[in-house]
């Protein structure tokens, strides 16, 4: 059950007796890392969570941020890593279903999903199996419920070979005040609505709080099975029920099923709850109280309804073809009682399951590998003999190549709000009936965090914000998913603490509150941890959606400009990995004040209508960004001719360094003076590189390649493995 001897002794002390099987199961899931955050809760307090637009921060189903006109955006990110490692399709599909329920539990209509994926080496057949299954699961569920998957990222490294990461973010639009997940009002009835309860997913929460190993395949029953068409009905029924005003509390049934939902709702309200599980509609006979309370069957919600109004609410769910059954009531004594007919199956004070969760502040230790990894000097490697070949190799790397194979399986146009499609730095959605737009992105670099956790955490936040700046949006807030190994190991705990501290510093410096998130620990296989991987999902606001930019060059004759400057930084780069198979060195440094100035310069230029395109520089550096801009324009592929001043840098560093705080832009020549004025006012260095036009990408006298060849290699780089 994932409890230590000391934790079990504490349970005996609290209860003053031995727990029965059902009670012990309830403690096990509520005290798991997945539900109780017992290793991460003290560290998460480092995050700034307040801001002028924040309506709801961490602690509810999802974060809520005001966007004006009586509207708010609701968003959260969660992981489904362990389930996806043993059953990729259902693991990913139910990850989508779970995060979508978090959004409409706040009263918001889900309008978009994004995914952040990590897998091992695609030369391995099992990696291809896992990757293909996960993408199919995301597509199969998201497409069926009518929520577009509009963006995301995918990254491949041997670090994730046995333990893929599947992080899913959902965004919703809310009109009016957010709903609450609290069991308020003593005597109010508790309704279980949605699908029937089965044996799937039992102890999924504890399964997610342990390392993977040879026996993990035996945990396949801990993976839930999703029904996206029922979820679509549940979305509509819940939103309709919330409009009546009779629903005083609502919570989705995710990890730990009825147990966590009922306990969390009572805990938030300071109340108790009585449940009779004999009333729970089931799809399997002979289920024990333990199984009913811990089942993680999908497409279910728990509602607390105003007393006397339950029949009106039930009629709504009946009209949508869903079960709605009164299974209990809110009590005032702060105790969670579970009945099976006339038999008392469990009786535990709510605060034992919520407030008494053990928390651990552990001693961290710098990993042994770190000093040698950071000391690696890439200058000892030879320069490429052929820079044409080097660029093509980078464009063929699955981490840089076109990810169209992934997103073409997703319906990214349903709801007809998507204005900038997958493939740019950020997706942009219109807010119908207004001039506003929402920009959405998710980002993170586990390799950087492995080589310097503090810097890696900062860069995850800064790069997500830079993605939004490159389309003209101002960040509103962020959600995160912190994917790390076993925190009981001092080296892993040190990585987690350092990364959170780095993220917190970047959030404070850039003025971006953390409004929701998820922690996924114990991501290890046979004792080997993944790269520490903090993933950041971010939402930004475009006051005028007509003033936006995307990454591809629009047409010939524009001037190409680099905002920011390039440093001698190839450590931890995709260049080292794609050309030399190395994941070593110090990652690029990050000056947060410079970062803020570069982002503001880009955002201002876009809002003044000066730019034709803007593209964040990240994996692969400047020349890769140039190639991507040539290949992703709205009017088709476009050539360019540039000259890159090296200022004493070796050519491979000038071309492929991943120096932070840089954005590649293009604009009509007549707009250059106004751009120069903006950059000068903000103290942002910039350099004119060349012009768009022609059918080749030409860089100095080192690179000259037809755009159609670049496009072929870039488009086939990922697809060829699949």
3 secondary structure, DSSP code: -
422, 118 Cβ separation under 8 angstroms: no
Pairing assessment for the beta strands 247-252 and 272-276 based on DSSP bridges: unpaired
Residue 615 annotated to the active site: no
How many residues comprise the chain?
Answer: 722
- Rounded to the nearest 5 percent, the helix, strand and coil shares of the chain are 40, 25, 35
Could you say which of 80, 82, 203, 412 is catalytic? 80
Question: CA-to-CA distance for 455 and 473, rounded, in angstroms?
Answer: 24
Q: Retrieve residue 390's tokens.
A: 């080097």
Question: CA-to-CA distance for 232 and 242, rounded, in angstroms?
Answer: 16
Residue 34 annotated to the active site: yes
CB atoms within 10 A of CB 307: 15
Pairing assessment for the beta strands 524-525 and 528-529 based on DSSP bridges: antiparallel
Helix (H, G, I), strand (E, B) or coil at 387: helix
Question: CA-to-CA distance for 229 and 688, rounded, in angstroms?
Answer: 52
Could you say which of 34, 82, 203, 403 is catalytic? 34
Question: CA-to-CA distance for 445 and 457, rounded, in angstroms?
Answer: 9
The closest alpha carbon to 602, from 472, 461, 426, 439, belongs to 472
Residue 137 sits at φ, ψ, to 5 deg, of -65, -45
459, 496 Cβ separation under 8 angstroms: no
Question: CA-to-CA distance for 573 and 618, rounded, in angstroms?
Answer: 9
Q: Retrieve residue 312's tokens.
A: 């009106």
DSSP one-letter string for 418-460: EEE-BTBSSEEEE-TTSS-EEEEEEE--HHHHHH-HHHHHHHH
Q: Mark out the alpha helices in 513-644 (DSSP H runs).
A: 574-580, 592-607, 621-631
35, 205 Cβ separation under 8 angstroms: yes
Question: Mind telling me the catalytic residues?
Answer: 34, 80
């Amino acid at each position: 059950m994932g409890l230590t001897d000391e934790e079990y002794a504490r349970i005996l002390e609290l209860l003053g007796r031995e727990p029965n099987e059902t009670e012990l199961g309830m403690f096990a899931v509520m005290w798991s890392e997945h539900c109780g955050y017992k290793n991460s809760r003290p560290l998460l307090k480092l995050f700034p969570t307040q801001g002028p637009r924040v309506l709801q921060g961490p602690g509810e189903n999802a974060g809520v941020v005001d966007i004006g006109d009586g509207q708010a955006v609701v968003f959260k990110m969660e992981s489904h890593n362990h389930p996806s490692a043993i059953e990729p399709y259902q693991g990913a599909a139910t990850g989508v279903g779970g995060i979508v329920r978090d959004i409409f539990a706040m009263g918001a209509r889900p309008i978009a999903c994004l995914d952040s994926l990590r897998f091992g080496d695609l030369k391995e057949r099992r990696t291809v199996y896992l990757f293909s299954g996960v993408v199919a699961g995301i597509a199969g569920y998201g497409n069926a419920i009518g929520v577009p998957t509009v963006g995301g990222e995918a990254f491949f490294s041997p670090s994730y070979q046995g333990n893929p990461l599947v992080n899913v973010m959902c965004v919703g639009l809310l009109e009016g005040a957010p709903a609450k997940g609290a069991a308020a009002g003593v005597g109010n009835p508790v309704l279980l609505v949605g699908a029937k309860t089965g044996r799937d997913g039992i102890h999924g929460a504890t399964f997610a709080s342990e390392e993977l190993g040879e026996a993990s395949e035996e945990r396949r029953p801990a993976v839930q099975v999703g029904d996206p068409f029922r979820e679509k009905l549940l979305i509509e029924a819940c939103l309709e029920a919330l409009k009546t005003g009779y629903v005083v509390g609502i919570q989705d049934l995710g990890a730990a099923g009825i147990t966590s939902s009922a306990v969390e709702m009572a805990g938030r309200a300071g109340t108790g709850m009585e449940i009779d599980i004999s009333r729970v509609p089931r799809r399997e006979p002979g289920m024990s109280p333990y199984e009913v309370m811990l089942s993680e069957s999908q497409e279910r919600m728990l509602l607390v309804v105003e007393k006397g109004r339950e029949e009106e609410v039930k009629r709504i769910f009946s009209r949508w073809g869903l079960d709605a059954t009164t299974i209990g009531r809110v009590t005032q004594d702060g105790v969670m009682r579970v009945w099976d007919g006339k038999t008392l199956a469990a009786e535990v004070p709510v605060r034992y399951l919520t407030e008494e969760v053990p928390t651990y502040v552990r001693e961290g230790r710098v990993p042994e590998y770190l000093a040698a990894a950071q000391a690696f000097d890439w200058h000892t490697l030879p320069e490429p003999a052929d820079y044409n070949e080097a660029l093509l190799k980078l464009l063929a790397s699955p981490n840089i190549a076109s990810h169209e194979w992934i997103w073409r399986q997703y319906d990214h146009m349903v709801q007809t709000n998507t204005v900038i499609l997958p493939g740019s730095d950020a997706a942009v959605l219109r807010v119908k009936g207004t001039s506003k737009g929402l920009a959405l992105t998710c980002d993170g670099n586990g390799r950087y965090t492995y080589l310097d956790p503090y810097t890696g955490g900062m860069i995850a936040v800064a790069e997500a914000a830079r993605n939004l700046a490159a389309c003209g949006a101002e960040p509103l807030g962020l959600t995160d998913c912190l994917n790390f190994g076993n925190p009981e190991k001092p080296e892993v705990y040190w990585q987690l603490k350092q990364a959170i501290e780095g993220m917190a510093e970047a959030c404070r410096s850039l003025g971006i509150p953390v409004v929701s998130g998820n922690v996924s620990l114990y991501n290890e296989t046979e004792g080997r941890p993944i790269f520490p991987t903090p993933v950041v999902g971010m939402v930004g606001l475009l006051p005028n959606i007509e003033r936006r930019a995307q990454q591809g060059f629009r047409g010939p004759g524009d001037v190409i400009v680099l905002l920011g400057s390039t440093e001698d930084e190839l450590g931890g780069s995709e260049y080292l990995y794609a050309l030399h198979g190395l994941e070593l060195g110090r990652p690029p440094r990050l000056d947060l004040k410079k970062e803020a100035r570069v982002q503001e310069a880009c955002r201002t230029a876009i809002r003044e209508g000066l730019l034709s395109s803007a593209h964040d520089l990240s994996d692969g550096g400047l020349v890769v960004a140039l190639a991507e801009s040539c290949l992703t324009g709205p009017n088709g592929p476009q050539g360019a001719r540039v000259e890159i001043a090296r200022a004493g840098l070796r050519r491979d560093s000038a071309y492929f360094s991943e120096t932070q705080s840089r954005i590649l832009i293009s604009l009509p020549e007549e707009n250059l003076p106004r751009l120069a004025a903006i950059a000068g006012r903000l103290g942002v260095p910039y350099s004119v590189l060349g012009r768009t036009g022609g059918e080749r990408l030409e860089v100095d006298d080192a690179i000259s390649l037809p755009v159609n060849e670049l496009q072929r290699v870039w488009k086939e780089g990922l697809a060829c493995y699949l």
